[in-house]
Structure 1
């Protein structure tokens, strides 16, 4: 069920100067009468000048409010003036699928085009498109695009032959493409800029992937993907997996087993063992006996210590100290204020859990577990253990498919489905496991020694770009034996539900900068330092703090109105128990070591999807529109904005293709 659009009244705080109040009033009056879509075209500076606002940087309240208001109108919000202020109303989702897609696409293009206007991005694109010497050949990024006319003609001639397209997976690392001399990451980045939404790096783990075509001389790019750290909490995903806390505990309550009891006991022990305590003992916060017989006073001292070091962490000198420590100096990292605070807090929680729940698990039995459920305090501690286990493993055994799609002309052949299947194939799972079979930064900093986390994935989630209409993940299922599994098992992308349309993707960098500056000047009690280990989504927290500094409703303004469909690919049969760590070994639905998986997936895709599309004349004609002759008109080329002072790339500088 879609939420109704909720209007919000926005005005500057009471301590804003008269000049700021008047400037905001003029801006809102202008924006209220602006045609839909005109704000994004004209840019923030145009509206600031039109409202006769001068020296905006010297008016941080007005700067944050003005940039936020412009972004909201960019996204389709309307403004109505009244006595109490300015009422902003978010756009209603259209019931028409194509109109809704167009609305979302326009919203996404605003930030993407803002990024493509940046001089550094334009230089990157231009350098990739110009020819360079590689061996005895002149090559450019255009050599990695397939001419649509050539591909369409080849498909017409070949009929059902699978030799025309030969897809394979290439994991993007620091190496260079042997055929073109480009860095693999630069190739991936160039084609990522052709997406509808802006390119942004993802905090945490990230493994970019190229899907290339060995049937062409330079192995043209079919599509790209990226496996990244997941969103920590997605209710629909967690419930579907069966590891949502209350759902899991209800299952355990109705069927308590010794295996679950043993797992809870192991979790409590490992949580305590993986916390560095030498400095806590040295500073008198703990005594050795407190670790085996904790008292409420000890737990209180640890919490006081955590708060004291949390406050110290937000001092600038502490921030510089953390950033200057080498990654593998685990004791040094553990003793920083950031991790001292985290360790004291975690140890206080663990000792409290052990005190209350431990008595029912010594020894761990199904009977003891049943008794624990009759104790409300023990149930509370069980919830904490499960949440901690899920929080620890969500970033290691679960990943998100944050980028997935095909480029022209392959996209006309539903190659997005090919990319989706290959993105969860054995080669990708093996590469991910090898890449991240290394000490966890946060866990190792908490323990003061290297701690390895499980790198074998159990589940990969993703979302559609649009919340309505067809998606490349629709009906994307295949027999597991395509990837070396059981032929009776069906693998693929299951629809889990819909996202909550919440985030910061609708705010420009100008707005984020203004909001961050305002929150800093207003003395926010919570500071975001962009240090690994502080918490998830620093951009979201910064924007929220800035909106709060304006006194505006952050929860309403952070709703970007772009509902998306959630999908998930379970990779193991014991999804819940392996994901939580109850089972130590994954029961894979595929063969992670299958060497010929790329070929088998490609054959399945060609027979299931590509062959049908290639037989349609309208599809072939659409492919032929992607040409590599001057002027280059190709859907895989980055669409650099023109106008507003931006010049088109000189076509004379581009390579000449005669095919």
Structure 2
């Protein structure tokens, strides 16, 4: 029986769907059960729904959402099985052979990427970048920042060890800066080469700092590779355990060895949370009085929570989103008094006062270490300490930790394992300095909660990333280098440490059209917009939209969000006191290198050439691969975007 398979997921429309919708969905499922689906072709939603005899989907939002989710799942290798009364979907089976598994994931990624490259807007962009234009009396195009593979190979062979053949440097990209050597917009250059990746190009919500690695050894400073430092995924269990700030792990460790430092930090955390909550309107409206700040009671907490829920519901009523978006960006008090942040403030104040009332007898004692020890022995107090730790981690996870969401080299440098060069430069002094300069500004959520500018820590302590394939990563494997290259100690090294494996969980296998359909289904179910996409509503609006839509269908979100692409997690700690600084126990980061070292780029480049590049150059197949990237017209170059054939 199908239902006996543990990974099978049963799908049916909810009871509120009418009988014809149930019949239409069943017919689509049966079609996929019986049809031979070409794994090399992106499934067309209109074609398959038409083939199943389904019409008027816009007026049937539940069926539309269900059909789109099903088609996306089949597109990503899920199989559909039906019997007389039930429908099941089964996730793709991970291949035992490493190369076969890579091929499976690569094929899935290429389907989305090629569909994107067929879009008329993308094709126009690519052709525009490849068209010559005048710059200071010279015809320039994106080909001007590609290096001829044969010329590079010959230059490296002639190199006498001076390191002049490749001179890498970091160039941080923004949307307004143009390349002085070509006149091309830097972000357009970055985007063009990003379209050569195996997966589709997508913007990243939150912080994002694209980076070009350029080669000063060439006339127009050819592009060696790309990187991007972005906001991290908030919760990754393996990463959090490795850092040591997983809540249960941290509480267990301080219970085993309570210290005055931790006791003082917990007190400071509570006071900091109280100091950073705007309360003028709460006092003005009598929700709380000044006495209750130092002597809270259960009634105080209950009133604040009721106020938070009342304003949360008001926020989700129609028409209020436009009001919020009209508020001036720096009008923090006005933002604080919106329903969204009123709800967040009241909830946070209730939580903080509840924690304080529980922990005050322990931590405000004459012997804070003994008090901390006794607090950790009481289940309720221990729970509240855990809440403080989670709040501290949540506050700093997006400021002192980042993800390397793009990292790789372009041809012909990639044949020399230049992805490792890009990986090392992505955590070098100029990148950390640029990140600090860019984000040393008021935090939107913290400032809107406090009603005044709040600047969060912006000095990076850790950069994480993942492999594209679950079977391994040649780019990050054995990528370690001496800290001395960046002005650090001769006895220490930096590099990409393997942390574990991801949980293959997310929304990457659902198209934007499917997410929009799920939102419509959720609106039908809940009668109001639950996710407005406003900054401050919560992490990952896309994930929340998908969850709400799947809930409207009564489908198991946790199972359907498993995209079947387990990846290896890597991380680069750049400070010695990672856990203490990341949580705020230590106010200053203890860096493993000199963050002001201005010569790090060239030294890293020389190290990479001797450690990786020169060894690759000894292999004839590598030389042959490089020489295939030629700038002789017609241009046949590995760094050129390969546009797939248009479909009609």
TM over 0.5: same fold?
yes
CA distance in 1, matches of 2:606, 2:272: 46
For 2:379, the equivalent position in structure 1 comes to 376
CA distance in 1, matches of 2:98, 2:529: 41
Answering whether residue 52 of structure 2 is matched by residue 46 of structure 1, we say no
Answering whether residue 6 of structure 2 is matched by residue 12 of structure 1, we say no
What displacement does 1:518 show?
1.3
Partner SS state of residue 430, structure 1: helix
For 1:609, the equivalent position in structure 2 comes to 612
- Cα distance 1:201–1:149, how it changes in 2: closer, same or farther (>3 A)? same
Partner SS state of residue 491, structure 2: coil
CA distance in 2, matches of 1:511, 1:155: 49
For 2:36, the equivalent position in structure 1 comes to 35
- Cα distance 1:317–1:59, how it changes in 2: closer, same or farther (>3 A)? closer
CA distance in 2, matches of 1:330, 1:616: 60
What displacement does 1:525 show?
6.8
Counterpart among 225, 228, 232 of residue 227 in structure 2: 225
What displacement does 1:154 show?
2.4
For 2:251, the equivalent position in structure 1 comes to 249
* Aligned counterparts, 1:320-335, within 5 A: 320-335=322-337
Q: Deviations over 1:594-646 (max 9, x none)?
A: 0101011101111111110011110010111222234332221222221313x
What displacement does 1:354 show?
0.8
For 1:455, the equivalent position in structure 2 comes to 458
Partner SS state of residue 465, structure 2: strand
What displacement does 1:231 show?
0.7
What displacement does 1:55 show?
2.2
Q: Deviations over 1:394-415 (max 9, x none)?
A: 1111111111111111111100
For 1:426, the equivalent position in structure 2 comes to 429
Q: What stretches of structure 1 of length at least 5 have no aligned partner? A: 646-659
CA distance in 2, matches of 1:563, 1:34: 28
* Aligned counterparts, 1:84-483, within 5 A: 84-158=85-159, 160-173=161-174, 174-363=176-365, 365-483=368-486
For 1:639, the equivalent position in structure 2 comes to 642
Structure 1 outlier segments of 4+, above 4 Å: none
- Cα distance 1:80–1:581, how it changes in 2: closer, same or farther (>3 A)? same
Q: Deviations over 1:261-318 (max 9, x none)?
A: 1111110101001000000000110111111111111111000000000000112222
What displacement does 1:115 show?
2.1
CA distance in 2, matches of 1:642, 1:361: 68
Answering whether residue 71 of structure 2 is matched by residue 60 of structure 1, we say no
Q: What stretches of structure 2 of length at least 5 have no aligned partner? A: none
For 1:648, the equivalent position in structure 2 comes to none
Deviates more, 1:361-370 or 1:587-596: 361-370
What displacement does 1:117 show?
2.4
For 2:601, the equivalent position in structure 1 comes to 598
CA distance in 2, matches of 1:439, 1:94: 47
CA RMSD of aligned residues (A): 1.6
CA contact (8 A) 1:39 1:70 kept: no
CA contact (8 A) 2:404 2:464 kept: yes
CA contact (8 A) 1:5 1:89 kept: no
For 1:510, the equivalent position in structure 2 comes to 513
For 2:543, the equivalent position in structure 1 comes to 540
TM-score (norm 2): 0.96
Q: Deviations over 1:127-174 (max 9, x none)?
A: 111111212111111111112222223233336552211111001122
What displacement does 1:54 show?
2.2
CA distance in 2, matches of 1:108, 1:159: 42
Partner SS state of residue 319, structure 2: helix
CA contact (8 A) 2:467 2:473 kept: no
Partner SS state of residue 567, structure 1: strand
- Cα distance 1:470–1:206, how it changes in 2: closer, same or farther (>3 A)? closer
- Cα distance 1:590–1:531, how it changes in 2: closer, same or farther (>3 A)? same
CA distance in 1, matches of 2:520, 2:189: 35
TM-score (norm 1): 0.95
What displacement does 1:39 show?
7.6
Partner SS state of residue 150, structure 1: helix
What displacement does 1:22 show?
3.1
Q: Deviations over 1:232-258 (max 9, x none)?
A: 111111111111111111111111111
Deviates more, 1:233-242 or 1:80-89: 80-89
Partner SS state of residue 42, structure 2: helix
For 1:655, the equivalent position in structure 2 comes to none
Q: How many residue pairs get matched?
A: 642
What displacement does 1:18 show?
3.5
What displacement does 1:380 show?
1.3
